[in-house]
Amino acid sequence: MKPRSLAATTLSLALAAVLAPNVNAQSAQAIPGYTMSHKMLAKAPYTLADLESLKKTLLITDEDVRYLRMSKAILVDQTEAILDVWYGFVASTPELVVYFKNNKTGAPDAAYLGAVRKRFGQWIADTADANYDQDWLDYQYEIGLRHTTPRKNKTDRADSVPLVNFRYLSALTIPVTTTLKPFLAKKGASAADVEKMHAAWVKSVLMQTILWSHPYVREGQF
């Protein structure tokens, strides 16, 4: 790192500390299309009470929330390595990479993949935070909308396919959490804690994909 860029980084960090005590939120502001807590977001069609019922069915307890939060310090500074594995899986699975296809070239759209990747990194931190408030709920609905017609591609101005098929959303719970497990184990947590963090992640990701599915589901059947 060059001296000038180091100085700029130091200044930027200092400003961040002054302007925003929540470093997550501060860094997230730099991510295009990351609109958690934005006032313009639509209110989710499911309530916090619906979420509590869903959590109960998924056996998500306060202990799971504690283990999700424990995972944050372990995962956040491995974010790029985790994303490399997840993107490697998508890239090597034709059924998945097609959702990033550039309609003009027929090839995966690098700019689109890159834009989504930044939000995907933030999603790791947000999943670990497990702050299940109205802002979080509204943003889950927004994420669902962005996978479906007519909202897909709009956030990143991509020229790509108009829909991610429903069946792959909840299915991705498995590769995402299976490949996460070794990263959970890399910072010296006990095997029992790794198991519990992993189980909490499986529940949380499955819950989120169910919430994201709302726009796909027929009226009144969610």
DSSP 159: -
Measured CA to CA, the distance from residue 107 to residue 76 in angstroms comes to: 31
Measured CA to CA, the distance from residue 71 to residue 54 in angstroms comes to: 22
The residue from 28, 194, 209, 212 that contacts a copy of itself (CB under 8 A) is: 209
Burial (Cβ within 10 Å: 0-12, 13-18, ≥19) of residue 66: middle
Q: Are 129 and 24 in contact (CB under 8 A)?
A: yes
Q: Are 20 and 26 in contact (CB under 8 A)?
A: yes
* Stretch of 5-13, 25-33, 102-110, 164-172 contacting a copy of itself, by CB under 8 A: 164-172
Query: How many residues touch a copy of itself (CB under 8 A)?
Result: 36
Instruction: Assess 2 for contact with a copy of itself (CB under 8 A).
Output: no
Which CB sits closer to a copy of itself, 24 or 170?
170
* Stretch of 10-18, 53-61, 70-78, 111-119 contacting a copy of itself, by CB under 8 A: 53-61
User: Contact letters (x/-) for a copy of itself, 114-143, by CB under 8 A?
Assistant: ------------------------------
Question: CB-side exposure of 64: number of CA atoms within 13 Å?
Answer: 19
* Stretch of 79-87, 100-108, 153-161, 166-174 contacting a copy of itself, by CB under 8 A: 166-174
Cα 5 from chain centre: 29
User: Contact letters (x/-) for a copy of itself, 12-51, by CB under 8 A?
Assistant: ----------------------------------x---x-
Instruction: Assess 57 for contact with a copy of itself (CB under 8 A).
Output: yes
Joined together, the tokens standing for residue 15 give: 């400003």
Question: CB-side exposure of 132: number of CA atoms within 13 Å?
Answer: 23
The residue from 16, 65, 161, 163 that contacts a copy of itself (CB under 8 A) is: 163
Measured CA to CA, the distance from residue 191 to residue 132 in angstroms comes to: 27
Q: Are 166 and 68 in contact (CB under 8 A)?
A: no
Instruction: Assess 86 for contact with a copy of itself (CB under 8 A).
Output: no
> Which spans of this chain sit near a copy of itself (rule: CB under 8 A)?
46, 50, 53-54, 56-59, 93, 95-96, 148, 163, 165-168, 170-175, 178, 202-203, 206-207, 209-210, 213, 216-218, 221-222
